[in-house]
Amino acid sequence: MRRFRDRVDAGRQLADRLAAFAGRRDVVVLALPRGGVPVAAEVAHALQAPLDVLVVRKLGLPGHEEFAMGAIAGGGAQVLDEDVVRRHGLRPSDVAAVVRREQAELCRRETLYRGDRPFPNLVGRVVVLVDDGTATGATMRAALAVVAKAGAARIIVAAPTVAADTAKGVAKGADDLVAVVTPEAFDSVGEWYDDFRQTTDEDVRRLLAEQAAVPTSTDELSG
């Protein structure tokens, strides 16, 4: 069942499928923290592209937080599954409470990962959005909304494993979707990894710093 040893292995396999973008000056790799960062670091290294993060937070269903009813991202983007909200009888105040909690965590992570560094200038660029896997697609759709609003010329969703039914929906908001496997039977992202240990804040900061020190073929990411 499992296809990847760990996120590093997954990132290398994914990078092989993105080889056509290697060495281009207009490519930017954006990772969805935290688990997407080790994968994206391998992609950015292979493509000789700058790496940054786009912080996205899942909006968990109250009482069943592992189940996504939507997601928020930096820049005010919000995606909400109205069918899920209606089916579970959630009031607007219930949703608002979850949004407030996740917004606080989103702000904390953005400050921790980026500090005073501005969000990258994406106007006219090819943006490769990377996560370690896509199950429901809620977080990726929120990320797509941010990148599209930021003026990207082309958006590529890239993940080692994407649920087949989710792939169809996510692909509608992107120019391309690149995955290693798109299984019909999909219970969780972790089932496709031998080692799916949690990525820490310290791991994210270290990987961003390491990649920032590597020369790339792209213009400066910010400005």
Q: What is the pTM of this model?
A: 0.88
| Termini Cα distance of the chain | 44
Residue 216's pLDDT is 82
DSSP string, 180-219: EE--SS-S-GGGGBS--PPPPHHHHHHHHHHHHTS--SSP
DSSP label at residue 4: B
- Note whether 161 and 133 are within 8 A (CB): yes
- Per-residue CA distances from 200 to 33, 36, 41, 194 (Å): 9, 11, 15, 18
Q: What is the mean pLDDT of the chain?
A: 92
* Domains delineated in the chain: 7-55+117-212 (3.40.50.2020), 58-112 (no CATH)
Find, among 7, 119, 1, 115, the residue nearest to 53 by Cα.
Answer: 119
* 20-32 confidence digits (pLDDT tens): 999 999 999 999 9
Asked whether residue 14 carries a pLDDT value surpassing 50, the answer given is yes
* 156-207 confidence digits (pLDDT tens): 999 999 999 999 889 888 999 999 999 999 989 999 999 999 999 999 999 9
- Sorted by sequence, the CB contacts under 8 Å of residue 169 that are 6+ apart come out as 137, 141
Residue 222's pLDDT is 43
Assigned token pair, 42: 């391998």
Asked whether residue 114 carries a pLDDT value surpassing 90, the answer given is no
Q: Where do runs of H (alpha helix) occur along the chain?
A: 7-16, 36-47, 82-87, 92-114, 138-149, 164-171, 201-212
pLDDT class for 221, splitting at 50, 70, 90? very low
DSSP label at residue 115: T
| Mean pLDDT to the nearest integer, 136-157 | 92
Residue 64's pLDDT is 86
